Amino acid sequence: MKYKITIAVALIASVLFPLCLPVTATHTETKEYRWFINKTTDQKPPPEHEYKFIEKYGGYYVDRKAKGSDKVIYLTFDAGYENGNCALILDVMKKHDVSSAWFILDNLLYRNMDLIDRLIAEGHEVCNHTAKHPNMAKITDKELFAENLAKLETLYKEKTGQDMAKYYRPPSGTFSELNMRHAQELGYKTVFWSMAYADWDNNKQPCPDASFARIMQHTHNGMILLLHPTSATNAAILDRLISAWKAEGYRFGTMAELCA
């Protein structure tokens, strides 16, 4: 009788409390992901990412072609506005004759065309970060997804007379597999990163010396480095960083090279 009661209690519990049972997470095309990186400290690229499916849709987070003595770094900036530090960073880039990719929002095109003109004149790639920085993983309709990229493309064409480069970075690194497929069908390469650090809060800037050491510690061949050009710390250490990278034999690649 004791065993019958135990079995009965177990059956009732399974009906009344189904959430107590283990749930296995499943991947779907619309599942929301937030990009992250597994840093290494031995100057080797990060291990194969668990979101490797991005590569099936023309997605990049490191240059897998970079090998041996041909050491390359891709400098990328996510830029939504100017606070004086963007210009300082461009001064450093010009001093070292280094190009980079800037993933911009429409605010720069409305308020800082002098900065956009300078990016173009000095050979930087101007790329798509969407017009208004929404959570793109929430967008499942292809037309609406395309509209978020097209608004920036159209404005850029109106302001510069040029076509925007077909490289896209999801705002906040938030995306879904469906987003990746839509971007590919629209002719875009989606570019994530293999190194970044907490540089975006202007009211809580990290220590320059510690940030320099952290970035150098995690530098690796084929690195796609994400920086925010509004960061006072980045403006303060970029000259040292580029000098140190050059001393170690690194050169600086473009999105066109990465995605060739």
Provide CB contacts within 8 A for 213, sequence distance 6+.
Answer: none
* Given 182, 218, 220, 228, the catalytic residue: 228
Q: Is residue 232 part of a domain?
A: yes
* Nearest in space to 252 (alpha carbons), one of 123, 109, 99, 34: 99
pLDDT (tens digit, 9 = 90+) per residue, 47-86? 889 999 999 999 999 999 998 899 999 999 999 999 999 9
Is 13 inside any structural domain? Answer: no
In a domain, 42, yes or no: yes
Rama region for 223: left / alpha / beta (φ>0; ψ in -120 to 50; rest): beta
- Catalytic site includes residue 42: no
What's the structural domain count of the chain?
1
Q: Which residue has the tokens 């499916």?
A: 53
Amino acid 28: pLDDT: 93
Residue 44 is predicted with a pLDDT of 84
Alpha-carbon span 165 to 92, nearest angstrom:
23
Q: Please identify every stretch of the chain with a pLDDT value under 70, giving residue numbers as ranges.
A: 1-25
Q: Is residue 3 part of a domain?
A: no
Task: Report if residue 140 sits inside a domain.
Answer: yes
Catalytic pick among 49, 63, 78, 124: 78
CATH code for the domain of 48: 3.20.20.370
Is residue 163 part of the annotated active site? The answer reads no
Sole residue written with tokens 């580029």:
242
Mean pLDDT value across the chain: 91
Q: What pTM does this model have?
A: 0.89
